[in-house]
């Protein structure tokens, strides 16, 4: 824990003309969202209820759960597949290498690697999904009873209040930009709920959607003249591409699930594919949508005076994003611009029994190595993001 006098206990929103908010898994882990971090994704999937699903989907869950222990044991035979110590980056990377090097492996090995990747991706999507009606209080800025914890919704409230107007026309100029490493659509739901209230605040993902061409418009995200920009560098649960007509659209009315039998909202072909970059040491960011998001992220960071990084431990596997941070900071320095980097994390309570070690100290060390004197560390608490958002000031 940073106990120096420079440790932050509150943050003034108006002190920075432009801010980039960067979210990692720790931000979505907090209550009431409770999305598991990578340490507990497989454990979550192993016991995840499948209530209300079709018989075919329930059987698919059983089949995948039956195969995953074997897939993970081939890569890390000394681990139980639900252990927090299992490295999903290594497991995904192993099967990617086998699947993409058919000359070095037998047809059976290649087919098994592709099945393993399908199963791992399905488990990742299922364990990351957040269930609950789109009208749940945790997704409703300005509509929750006093004291109801919902950090993403509370953050939106702070930013809108700071803007001083409804709708916040100045957001179109990029005063506040969101960047997330996560697949979940928690923040999306909060922002989309604003539009449903008639505030005229839209959601811009940094690339054009084909939602306007969709046959099922009620399931689609709406755009507005004023908007927040949300840049998802690893893709999203609610992005889908039709392999038949090429349409790219977002959904949010069905818990962001796009599974077997789902049809394209534009041409109605059964050929949907998700747009996600899964954990791996061999990540590739050449998808046109992902490439456009990264270009937007580079511009947003280079144009922001303050970067607030919440629940993101800067893992070594994220070499591409680390390089992006260095590049954006160097660009700002070359222009004579200072960058304030604020790290927001979570510190476990002393009595908390954790399976995984405390990552906060390691994260502080990593950030200091990368940003040196530009770094400021919020005085982390056991409730992390939930307490930090209450420390925001106009």
Residue with tokens 């029994």: 353
Using CB atoms within 10 Å of the CB of residue 66, give its burial: 0 to 12 exposed, 13 to 18 middle, 19+ buried: exposed
Query: Phi/psi at 325 (nearest 5 deg)?
Result: -60, -45
d(CA 41, CA 118): 16
pTM for the full model?
A: 0.92
- Tens place of pLDDT per residue across the chain (394 aa): 444 446 899 999 989 999 999 999 999 998 899 999 888 999 999 998 887 678 888 899 999 999 999 999 999 999 999 999 999 999 999 999 999 998 999 999 999 999 999 999 999 989 988 766 777 889 988 888 888 889 999 999 898 887 666 666 667 667 899 999 999 999 998 888 876 666 667 788 999 988 877 765 544 554 545 788 999 999 998 898 999 999 998 876 555 556 666 788 888 888 888 899 999 999 999 999 999 999 999 999 999 999 999 999 998 889 999 999 999 999 999 999 999 999 999 887 766 655 444 678 888 999 999 999 999 999 988 889 999 999 999 8
The pLDDT value given to residue 218:
44
pLDDT of residue 244: 92
Q: Could you tell me if 238 and 250 are in contact, meaning their C-beta atoms sit under 8 angstroms apart? A: yes
- How many C-beta neighbours within 10 Å does residue 302 have? 19
Gyration radius of the chain over CA positions: 21
The answer for residues whose C-beta is within 8 angstroms of residue 103's C-beta and 6 or more apart is: none
State the number of CA atoms in the 13 A half-sphere of 60 facing the CB: 15
Sign for the pseudo-dihedral over CA of 43, 47, 51, 55: positive
Which pLDDT score, from 0 to 100, does residue 338 have?
96
- Determine the pLDDT at residue 354: 54
Neighbours of 331 (CB within 10 A): 16
Residue that has been written with the tokens 């993409």 in this structure: 100
Q: How far apart are CA 106 and CA 112, in angstroms?
A: 10
d(CA 93, CA 333): 35
Token output for 387: 């307490």
Length of the chain, in residues:
394
Contact 16, 340 (CB under 8 A): yes
Q: Are 160 and 190 in contact (CB under 8 A)?
A: no
HSE-up (13 A, CA, CB side) for residue 18: 19
Task: Determine the Cα–Cα distance for residues 362 and 368; give it in Å rounded to an integer.
Answer: 10
The pLDDT of residue 148 is: 85
């Amino acid at each position: 824990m940073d106990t120096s006098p420079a440790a932050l206990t509150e943050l003034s929103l108006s002190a920075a003309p432009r801010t980039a908010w960067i979210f990692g898994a720790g931000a979505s882990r907090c209550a009431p969202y409770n999305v598991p971090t990578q340490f507990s994704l497989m454990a979550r999937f192993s016991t995840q209820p499948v209530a209300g699903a079709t018989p075919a989907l329930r059987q698919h869950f059983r089949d995948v759960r039956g195969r995953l222990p074997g897939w993970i044991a081939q890569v890390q035979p000394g681990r139980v597949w639900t252990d927090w110590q299992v490295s999903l980056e290594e497991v995904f990377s192993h099967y990617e290498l086998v699947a993409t090097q058919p000359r070095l492996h037998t047809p059976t090995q290649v087919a098994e690697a592709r099945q393993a990747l399908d199963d791992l991706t399905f488990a990742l999507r299922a364990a990351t999904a957040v269930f609950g009606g789109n009208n749940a209080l945790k997704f409703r800025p300005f509509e929750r009873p006093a004291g109801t914890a919902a950090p993403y919704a509370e953050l939106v409230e702070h930013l809108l209040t700071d803007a001083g107007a409804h709708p916040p026309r100045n957001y179109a100029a990029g005063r506040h930009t969101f960047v997330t490493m996560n697949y979940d659509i928690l923040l999306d739901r909060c922002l989309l709920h604003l539009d449903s209230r008639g505030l005229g605040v839209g959601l811009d993902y940094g690339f054009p959607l084909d939602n306007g061409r969709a046959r099922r418009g009620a399931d689609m995200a709406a755009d507005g003249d004023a908007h927040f920009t949300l840049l998802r560098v690893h893709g999203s649960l609610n992005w889908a591409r039709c392999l038949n007509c090429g349409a790219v659209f977002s959904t949010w009315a069905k818990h962001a699930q796009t599974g077997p039998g789902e049809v394209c909202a534009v041409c109605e072909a059964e050929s949907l594919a998700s747009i996600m970059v899964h954990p791996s040491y061999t990540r590739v960011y050449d998808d046109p949508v992902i490439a456009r998001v990264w270009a937007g992220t580079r511009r947003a960071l280079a144009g922001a005076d303050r970067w607030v990084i919440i629940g993101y431990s800067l893992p070594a596997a994220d070499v591409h994003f680390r390089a992006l941070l260095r590049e954006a900071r160097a660009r700002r320095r070359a222009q004579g611009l200072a960058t304030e980097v604020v790290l927001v994390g979570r510190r476990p309570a002393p009595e908390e029994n954790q399976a995984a070690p405390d990552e906060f100290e390691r994260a502080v060390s990593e950030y200091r190595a990368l940003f040196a004197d530009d770094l400021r560390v919020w005085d982390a608490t056991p409730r992390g993001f939930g307490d930090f958002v209450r420390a925001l000031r106009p």
